[in-house]
Structure 1
């Protein structure tokens, strides 16, 4: 598995997390604080994927 495949997998996880948080928040099943924490985790995942792609 090369670094682009790893980065793509990380990005898929981040997108899935974002969709889940969006759906749960829209349905009123997740409070704002938890949604924001999970959104930050998703942002960290996208940053990590970028770092994996840029790694030597």
Structure 2
């Protein structure tokens, strides 16, 4: 997930407590990566793909 002010903190904490691996990313870095991959559509699916590509 990307860090969205403080709103990501609860979700990250709950996911981590449930045993999931959690990555909190800088949204600007993810956007730079998406732009480099020519991902222009700003949709939830596109955002998820950009985050997955960034983590990979």
TM value normalised by structure 1: 0.31
Greater relative contact order, per chain length (Cα 8 Å cut-off, separation 6+): 1
TM value normalised by structure 2: 0.31
Greater fraction helix: 1
Structure with bigger gyration radius: 1
